[in-house]
Homo-oligomer: A and B are copies of this chain.
């Protein structure tokens, strides 16, 4: 859809490039089906790696790889199960998730 502008603006060839490094990191982190699904799965409480791998139909080491990236970003935390500490349960850091969203939204508003 194309609308006519009322006046001809003069060219501004000196615009500064916006700093999008941080929001870009957030968007890049979210722009993967497995990672985004993990964060969605963890909305309603912690889950272990094997549960998430089964839910998403991907292999456990693959999930583990993505969890490592979410961990490094601070969006999730790991906790060994008390009864069987072979299993590692992950939960979202809600504050960090909210911060990340805020960073991304802040770049657009």
Contact with B along A89-102 (1 / 0, CB 8 A): 10000000100010
Interface of A is mostly: mixed
Stoichiometry, as copies per complex, reads 2
Q: Which of A1-55 touch B at CB < 8 Å?
A: 1-9, 11-18, 20, 23-24, 27-28, 30-33, 36-37, 39-41, 43, 46-48, 50-52, 54-55
**A68 interface hit (Cβ, 8 Å):** no
Chain A positions within 8 Å of B, measured between CB atoms, are 1-9, 11-18, 20, 23-24, 27-28, 30-33, 36-37, 39-41, 43, 46-48, 50-52, 54-57, 77-84, 89, 97, 101, 104-105, 107-109
